[in-house]
Amino acid sequence: MQRSLETLVNLDTRFQRLNTDGQAAFQTIANWVLSRHLCKEKKGIQWGSPQHGFHSDDSDTTNAVSMDDLATGRATILSVLRLMKGIVVDMQAVVQLLVAGYSHVDSFGHAEKITHSKKRVAAFQKEIQLKSELFAGIFKVKHTADAMFYVSCWLHLPFISDVDDFDSLEF
């Protein structure tokens, strides 16, 4: 059973690493969205119109993100979300092994640890759902504060931070 716990800790670490990788791509997309709105406001030009020059000499838009960077960021986010879902599926399988391994033991301590593991996996599922919603919503953001809120939500893993790490469990 100790091996199953180590597997859960390793999967948790992989999820955290993917979160960091996704953060950079998510920030790129947020910068693109904000640059797009800044260009629209400054120039009064409709986004996508022939007059619109995404890269401008205007000093306010020097941080504009290229369309290639945007495409790469989108692909990265989709890949990260897919990999995160795979990790959660693996976590669920490991927790099921723990449940099967301890099904013959009626010890309250083990039942509590399995319940905690299930809660932690459920928190990872909520994080993926949140990240999917953030990814869909970031394209609708019009203000810097809103974009920073989205980026912060991606970074801080609010659901996972509410549940103790797998490391705290000892089977």
* Domain coordinates in residue numbering, the chain: 2-168
84 CB-contact burial (10 Å; exposed 0-12 / middle 13-18 / buried 19+): buried
Q: Contact, 58 vs 42, CB < 8 A?
A: yes
Per-chain mean pLDDT for the chain: 80
Q: How confident is the model at residue 67 (pLDDT cuts 50, 70, 90)?
A: confident
106-143: pLDDT as tens digits: 555 667 777 888 888 999 999 999 999 999 999 888 88
